[in-house]
Structures are given as structure tokens and as C-alpha cells.
Amino acid sequence: MNTLEQALLPDPTPEDANPAVRSGLVLVLAPHAARAQMLPLAARLALLGPLLVIDGGNRFNAYQVALHIRRQSAAHFKEALERIRAARAFTPYQMLALLEATLPLVESAPPNPAPILALDLLDTFYDESLPQAERRRLLVMCLAHLRRLSATAAVARANPPNAPREAI
């Protein structure tokens, strides 16, 4: 189990226990949202229960996640795939709307709400057609939603480590 999985996945439990994903916010700064680790992690989370993926970089590869699920547990392949909900945002306004729509779902969920993978969140904020002040305002609002979400659900936010600060 890698460090990212240790941060999100539950401690080993007896087989009859229902594992719960830890709540909180995990920030991953790695090239291209650490795809090499995020996709197998998405597969493991989907095998445990519902999973929400918010993709800001249009890089979430559901086919690769399906391959990881099949490798990890062919017996539960279909059920795990059906538990994954993916949403893509292409603008800062769409990212904000996705996060706003997610908050009530998480707050009204049972004691163990679905973990959230927010991939390449900052990519949506590189839109130079929007004034920098507007992009910053929207980013602050998105980060506030992520903080609120992380109080209830596990949230992993992944962005490249060399994201240009002046773009946002």
C-alpha cells in the first residue's frame, strides 16, 4: 500500500466489518495528478463502496480504472464500476458548480459518505479569458467547498507540482 492509499483507506479490519474510508483532505502534488497512483486508488475505493471523481483536467481514464478493478477483484467488477460517479469541469464556474452540488450529497449521506477524488482541479483556472481577480475569487470559493467536503468525506485533491502561480 502506498502513502496515498494509507492516507485514505481504512486500517485493516476483520472480514465481517464494514470498512469506512477516512474523512479529511489529502493534497497530492504530482505530475498529471499522479495518474500512476490515482487510478489504482480509484479502483480500490470503488471496490470498498461509492466513489465520486471530479475531473478538472479531462484526464480521468475510466477504462484504466476498470482494468485495475478487474485485476484487483474480478468477482466484484460490475458492482465496483457501478459505484463510480465521474463529473468533468472545463471552466472555473463549472468546477464551482460541481463542488456546490456535491456538498449537499455528502452532508446528507450515511455515516460513511463516498470519498471524492478531485483531479487536476487547478487546470480549470488557467482560462486566460477570465480576469485574474475573477479566477482567484472562484478558486477561493472552490477551496472553501473542498474544506467543507473534507469535514465529512475523504477528499483527495491532485495537481501537478509545478502549476504556475501567476495563472491563478
How high is the pLDDT of residue 111? 66
* Closest alpha carbon to 119 in 167, 67, 73, 51: 51
- Evaluate whether 81 touches 69 at the Cβ level (below 8 Å): yes
How high is the pLDDT of residue 135? 95
Which set of grid coordinates corresponds to residue 73? Answer: 477483484
How high is the pLDDT of residue 16? 39
66-71 long-range contacts, CB within 8 A, separation 24+: 68/39, 68/40, 68/42, 68/43, 68/44, 69/43, 71/43
Under DSSP, is residue 9 helix (H, G, I), strand (E, B) or coil?
coil
How high is the pLDDT of residue 15? 45
pTM for this model (two decimals): 0.77
Full DSSP string of 94-122: HHHHHHHHHHHHHHTS-SSPPPEEEESGG
Amino acid (1-letter code) at residue 119:
L
Under DSSP, is residue 55 helix (H, G, I), strand (E, B) or coil?
strand
* Closest alpha carbon to 2 in 37, 33, 26: 37
How high is the pLDDT of residue 10? 55
Mean pLDDT per 10-residue interval, the chain, length 168 residues: 55 45 63 70 89 88 93 91 93 94 73 80 90 95 88 72 54
Rg of the chain, C-alpha, whole Å: 16
Q: Write the CB contacts of 154 (distance below 8 Å, at least 6 apart in sequence).
A: 8, 21, 22, 23, 24, 26, 115, 116
How high is the pLDDT of residue 71? 93
How high is the pLDDT of residue 152? 77
